[in-house]
């Protein structure tokens, strides 16, 4: 597959991933990471050095928008590396950025309270008409505790912070990529998925100290609530077997947490 950008013909190859929307474009010594219909929020993230540098954006004949980012040689974080302080600190930088929040809210109305997220989840389950005993127990838990986790403190949340979306360049730069699910919500929406998935319980306080907060009963309850919400939502959508099994394990970890 070839395409023409700025008078030069580039070789285009799939970049992998589950969506099939990402590609690699090469021409002699030039190389870009291309994505179809990426979030317009990408420019703000690039300016903050949270994602690899955005080079250009182009609308093609069929109406799709193609973004090109600087290609970086990198490695995906391992599960073990997710426990390190750099992940906590970059996530805190994102969550605490008022500029990113203002930029995201300009693009679309994307504030989601716990009540709105629960309604969204119930609508998804109803549409699929598939619910098992575990999901039913989860919905009952979410309904019972929704008022206890409501907040007016919204931050920019990534929405899919699994280790495959964290990369480190050869220059030792850490990036969080794939922002198509960005929303303004409680920070626990991101934090919980990292803690329940990667961080041993004995290390939660240490990880949270690098993020800049402490594990209180209130935060713990939020972490559990939002993790159950996210994983049940993931279990209702079509995805790879690996992603399904990952969501199922995190769901079980959160449901079995009886400390709150």
Task: Just list the catalytic residues.
Answer: 160
Interior CA angle at 162 toward 156 and 163, to 5°?
120
Q: Between β-strands 183-185 and 155-157, what pairing exists: parallel, antiparallel or unpaired?
A: antiparallel
Measured distance CA(214)–CA(10) in Å, rounded: 50
Are residues 163 and 175 in contact, defined by beta-carbon separation less than 8 angstroms?
no
Report yes or no: 163 and 81 within 8 Å, Cβ to Cβ. Answer: yes
Tell me the sheet residues that pair with 168: 75, 174
222 in Cβ contact with 149 (< 8 Å):
yes
Q: At residue 254, what are phi and psi to the nearest 5 degrees?
A: -70, -45
Pairing outcome for strands 166-169 and 174-176: antiparallel
173: left (phi over 0), alpha (psi -120 to 50) or beta: beta
Dihedral class, residue 118 (left if φ above 0, else alpha if ψ from -120 to 50, else beta)? alpha
Q: Chain centroid to CA 229: how far?
A: 14
Query: Hey, is 124 helix, strand or coil?
Result: helix
């Amino acid at each position: 597959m070839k395409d023409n950008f700025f008078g030069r013909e580039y070789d285009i190859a799939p970049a992998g991933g589950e969506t099939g929307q990402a590609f690699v474009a090469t021409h002699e010594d030039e190389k870009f990471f291309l994505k179809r219909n990426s979030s317009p929020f990408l420019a703000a993230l690039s300016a903050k050095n949270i994602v690899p540098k955005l080079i250009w954006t182009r609308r093609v004949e069929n109406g799709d928008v193609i973004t090109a980012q600087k290609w970086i040689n990198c490695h995906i974080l391992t599960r073990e590396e997710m426990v390190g302080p750099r992940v906590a600190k970059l996530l805190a930088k994102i969550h605490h950025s008022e500029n990113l929040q203002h930029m995201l809210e300009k693009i679309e109305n994307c504030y989601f309270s716990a009540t709105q997220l629960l309604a969204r989840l119930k609508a998804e389950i109803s549409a699929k008409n598939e619910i098992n005993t575990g999901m039913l127990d989860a919905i009952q838990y979410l309904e019972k505790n929704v008022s206890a986790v409501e907040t007016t403190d919204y931050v920019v949340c990534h929405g899919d912070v699994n280790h495959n979306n964290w990369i480190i360049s050869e220059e030792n730069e850490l990036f969080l990529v794939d922002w198509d699910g960005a929303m303004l919500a409680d920070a626990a929406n991101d934090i919980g998925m990292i803690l329940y998935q990667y961080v041993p319980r004995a290390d939660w306080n240490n990880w949270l100290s690098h993020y800049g907060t402490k594990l209180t009963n209130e935060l713990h309850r939020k972490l559990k609530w939002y993790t159950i919400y996210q994983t049940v939502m993931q279990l209702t959508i079509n995805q790879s077997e690996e992603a399904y099994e990952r969501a199922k394990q995190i769901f079980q970890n959160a449901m079995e947490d009886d400390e709150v």
